[in-house]
């Protein structure tokens, strides 16, 4: 093999080594400076039974898993009333935001999963009562079904905890 063939191989290996070093040390540094996740259970018994946590706080970010229209025991509420299901979802979301000292003004991402895009579009104006100053980024995603057959909508959020 000539010297010219070996040089690109050495350069390639050195580049890979440097990238891996930066990646590993960068992750380690971030982990050392980050808070441990804080888990919030809206309905602890239900969440334990199904194996999920409703919200997790990491540093100043809150990630809220999908919320559906259910009561404290996990029973569906407003089975055939799309607008009421939306209202129930936002009421549950508000409880989690309040727990962390946030409001809907602090929400930066909202994803809505729905079994009926037409119903979501008809009821979407209700969101103006929730987001009074600005809307977050996000997606509306049409799906076949949700975790409970009576549910037509599920909403997940991410919010930034305001500095005090």
- pLDDT tens-digit readout, 58-74: 999 999 999 999 998 89
pLDDT exceeds 70 at position 89:
yes
Do the beta carbons of residue 146 and residue 115 sit within 8 Å?
A: yes
Predicted TM-score (pTM) of this structure: 0.77
Closest CA to 41 of 75, 72, 87, 77: 72
Q: For residue 60, give Cα distances in angstroms to 39, 57, 76, 102, 153.
A: 13, 7, 32, 11, 27
Answer yes or no: is pLDDT of 19 > 90. Answer: no
Domain boundaries, position 7:
1-33
pLDDT on residue 34? 64
Percent of the chain with pLDDT over 90: 66
Q: Looking at the structure, do residues 22 and 43 belong to the same domain, yes or no?
A: no
> Domain count of the chain?
2
Q: Which of 147, 37, 25, 163 is nearest to 102 (CA)?
A: 163
Alpha-carbon span 130 to 90, nearest angstrom: 8
| Residues 147 and 116 both lie in one domain | yes
């Amino acid at each position: 093999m000539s010297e010219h063939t070996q040089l690109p191989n050495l350069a390639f290996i050195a580049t890979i080594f440097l990238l891996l070093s930066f990646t590993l040390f960068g992750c380690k540094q971030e982990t050392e400076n980050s808070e441990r996740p804080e888990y919030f259970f809206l309905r602890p018994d239900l969440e334990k039974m199904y194996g999920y946590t409703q919200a997790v706080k990491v540093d100043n970010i809150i990630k809220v898993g999908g919320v559906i229209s259910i009561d404290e025991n996990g029973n569906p509420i407003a089975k055939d009333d799309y607008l009421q299901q939306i209202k129930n979802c936002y009421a549950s979301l508000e409880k989690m935001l309040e727990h962390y000292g946030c409001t809907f003004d602090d929400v930066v991402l909202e994803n809505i999963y729905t079994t009926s895009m037409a119903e979501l579009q008809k009821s979407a104006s209700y969101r103006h009562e929730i987001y009074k100053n600005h809307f977050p980024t996000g997606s509306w995603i049409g799906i076949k079904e949700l975790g409970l057959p009576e549910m037509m909508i599920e909403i997940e959020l991410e919010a930034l905890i305001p500095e005090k």
